[in-house]
Each structure stands twice: as C-alpha cells, then as structure tokens.
Chain A
Amino acid sequence: MRKILIVDDSIESSQLLKRILMKRGYPNIILSHSAEDAFNILHANDSISDIDLVLLDIVMPGMDGIEACIKIKQDVKLRDIPIIMVTGMDKSSVLEQAFRAGAMDYIKKPYDILELHARVRNALNLKREMDKRKARELELLEVTEELKALNTVLEQLSNIDGLTGVANRRSFDTYLQSEWDRACRTGDHLSIILFDIDKFKLYNDTYGHQEGDDCLKRIAQICKTAIKRSNDLVARYGGEEFAVVLPNTELQGALNIAEIIRIEIENQKIPHESSPVENYVTISAGVATACPKKGNITLEQLVNIADQGLYFCKRNGRNQVRSIQPN
C-alpha cells in the first residue's frame, strides 16, 4: 500500500488534499503541519523510510518547503522519495528553486483534481519502479557476493593439493614467480628447498597406497608446522616430492630450515622397515638461493640447483640436506 505524506501548515489545505486523494484510491495518507514534524515521521523507521511520496507545501512558518526539500534530498535514507511541491504561488522563480532543491514536480493551489491525480500517479509509478530497481540491484549484489565467495573457495581449492592440503604445484609455480619478481625489485635473497621422501616406492610396496597417502599427509603437516613465517610456502611438488619457498632468506637460513624439517620428520620415527636408509621415514633435501636483482641466475636455474642438491643427497646416502652452492 503506497504511503503519502502531506506537509502543509494549513489544516484546511492538507485535509482537502487528503480527501481528494482518498477518493482517488490512496487511503494511506499521513498529515503533518510543519517540516520539523515531517522529519520525525520520515525518520520514524531506523532503516529506509516507508513513505512513497511527499507532497510539500512551499510556504510554511519555520522551515519552509524549499529548505525541507533540500534537507530530504541530502539525507541518504530519504533522498529517493519523490517530492511534489504544493504551491499557491505563481512565481516561476519559486518553482525554479523547488526543482533545484530536488522536487520532481509541483501542484498549484487551488487543486485541479485531474492534474493532481495525474501528477501523484506519475510520482508513485516512478517510486515503484525505483523500488523494483533497488530490489533487483540488491539481489544482484547478493548474487555477486555469493559468486565472489564461491570463486574464492574455488581459487583456494585450485591452489591446494587435494591429498595433503598444502599448496599444489601450480600454486608453487605462481608463488615462486611472484616472490622472484618481488626479490628482483627489492634486492632480497630468495631460497627454495626441494625434498623427497627416501625410498618412498618401497614404502608404498610395503604398506600399500593407503598408508603411503597417509604418510604423505603427515610429512606435509610436519613440514607446515616446521616453517614459522606466514610468507613461507610449503607445496607438494609432485609424487613424494615437496618444495618450500623461503622469501627473504639467505643460503644458511634455508639450510637451517631444511635441516629442521629433516630432523622433525626423522624424530617422528614413522616406520619404514624396507628402507635401506633407516627403519623409519627420512627425507633428502636440496637447497638453493638466489639474489635475483643481481641477475647472475635465472629462476629455472634456481630450481635446477635445488634439484641437483637433492640428487647429490641421494647419491650420497640420503637422509641429509645439501646445497651445491658455495655457502
């Protein structure tokens, strides 16, 4: 039910207007005899006002209609309510002021009933369309928010290794590239660790793939717990191979972290009875460091150096950390 507020200091004028409109099928009409009182009515709800149209007399004691119109249009909660100025004045300058204040239309006193009805109907139709549009916009906003949230979840899922819950290879590549670019700008060091579970094929052969998966999960968690900084990244590099990106870390720091991870895993004493290394799970880790800004090494070379370190460990008895770079 459309609600109309009539603001007019003259009781006779407002009563007359009310009766005319009621007869024309607008039963929900509120009368107010001053602009100040009108604002109390308009602000009766904490949220958006439920008034659909304001018929505002121009000449009133206290705050006049023009000033009230400006104030309504400046109020975020009220500004979408259409205002029709009601005036007994003929001066075009007054009407100009009213339109400049934000009024959408005007009605002259004495009222021409047909004209009055047409103008009120137009204003209410406009308000109805605005309400519909706002509802659609709100709906659209909600759907957009939902989509955004879903996209975030999807993005997170697409960056996470499904088995171990740490970053996947794709995420590792992206993160390593972005940290490389950052280090190019800042001149910081960037280190990586590549490590492999020693003789993991034998682990799977001995305990089965289910146990193998559980072992990978445990290793990922141990590694995740071992790194302390929020911008260090643990990723599953592939199969039983993991990688750690360590921004702003020099070689010795990276070797220390790799050693901590190795020891943590060793301390878990996860049984690996068929391993020729130890009777529990161990890892071999290769470490590499670069200062990209110096430009004497490429990103691919950095990964390759870590990989060579890892293979050095494998050739050298496993369960150890190595870098082939001079410390």
Chain B
Amino acid sequence: MSTFSIIVDKDLEDLIPSFLSNRTKDIITMKEALETRNFEQIRIIGHSMKGFGSGYGFDYVSDAGKILEVAAKESNAVVIQETILKLEDYFANIKISFE
C-alpha cells in the first residue's frame, strides 16, 4: 500500500482537520447518492472538490473531483464507484506535512 505525501501551507494548518472530516462526509454522501442514482448531488460535490482540492495541497482531490463531475454528468456509476474507492484509499494513506 503506497503512502501519499501531502505538503500543506502552514497558514492552512488549522483548517485541515475540518477539511478531512468534510471529505469523509462527502464520500458517505456520494455513496448514498450513488445508491439512489442521485448523480446531480455527486456532480455538485465533484465540482466543489475540483475547485478547492489542490488549493489546500490535495491535488488528487481536485483530480478526483473533476472525474466525478464528468462521470456524474454522464451517469457513469462504474467510474463514480471506482473514484470513490480511490478517494477512500487516498485519505487512508495520506501523510501530511506543513510548510
């Protein structure tokens, strides 16, 4: 299992705990939305993640957000499922340092 090293701006350090817990909530929400095929909700979450992820230093969050947004527009449940799993794996294996 690989570890993802994340470098976060020191000025954002106090925001990171809530950033992480909100992403956990996003993953839960998206899973539920996928079950009910609520692609619009997934699209909105993906769009948001795309916008702010790399700003906090979490480039993959932006990349995954972009994939989720596109997949949700296409109602592509397979890609969404796959990306959610990747995101879970990502957050389970990140190592954050502040600079």
Contact = CB atoms under 8 A, between A and B. Distances in A.
B3 interface: no
B12 A110 contact: no
A130 B55 CA distance: 32
B22 A19 contact: no
B56 interface: yes
A110 B15 contact: no
B11 A23 contact: yes
Interface size class of B (residues with CB under 8 A): 10 to 19
A15 interface: yes
A15 B17 CA distance: 13
Given A59-B47, A88-B47, A110-B62, A13 B11 contact: no
B81 to A, nearest CB: 23
A109 B52 contact: yes
B40 to A, nearest CB: 11
Nearest to B46: A88
B11 A88 contact: no
B47 A12 contact: no
B19 interface: yes
Nearest to B9: A19
Most buried by A among B9, B22, B51, B62: B51
Contact of A110 (B19, B44, B55): B55
Interface residues of A, number: 16
B53 to A, nearest CB: 7
Most buried by A among B18, B19, B44, B52: B52
A28 interface: no
B64 to A, nearest CB: 13
A111 interface: yes
A13 B15 contact: no
Contacts of A59: 44, 47
Classify the interface of chain A: helix, strand, loop or mixed: helix
A10 interface: yes
A110 B54 contact: yes
A109 B15 contact: no
B12 A109 contact: no
Given A11-B22, A23-B11, A110-B62, A16 B56 contact: yes
Nearest to A13: B52
A15 B16 CA distance: 11
Nearest to A11: B22
A88 B50 CA distance: 7
A88 B69 CA distance: 11
B51 A110 contact: yes
Interface in A250-287: none
A200 to B, nearest CB: 93
Given A110-B55, A111-B55, A10 B48 contact: yes
Given A88-B47, A110-B62, A12 B52 contact: yes
A13 B12 contact: no
Interface string A200-237: 00000000000000000000000000000000000000
A12 B56 contact: yes
Given A11-B22, A12-B48, A13-B48, A19 B15 contact: yes
Interface in A6-60: 10-13, 15-16, 19-20, 22-23, 59
Given A11-B22, A12-B52, A13-B52, A19 B47 contact: no
Contact of A13 (B9, B44, B51): B51
Contacts of A110: 50-55, 62
B15 A15 contact: yes
17 contacts: A10-B52, A11-B18, A12-B19, A12-B48, A15-B15, A16-B15, A16-B52, A16-B55, A19-B9, A19-B11, A20-B55, A88-B47, A88-B48, A109-B50, A110-B51, A110-B54, A110-B55
Interface of A: 10-13, 15-16, 19-20, 22-23, 59, 61, 88, 109-111
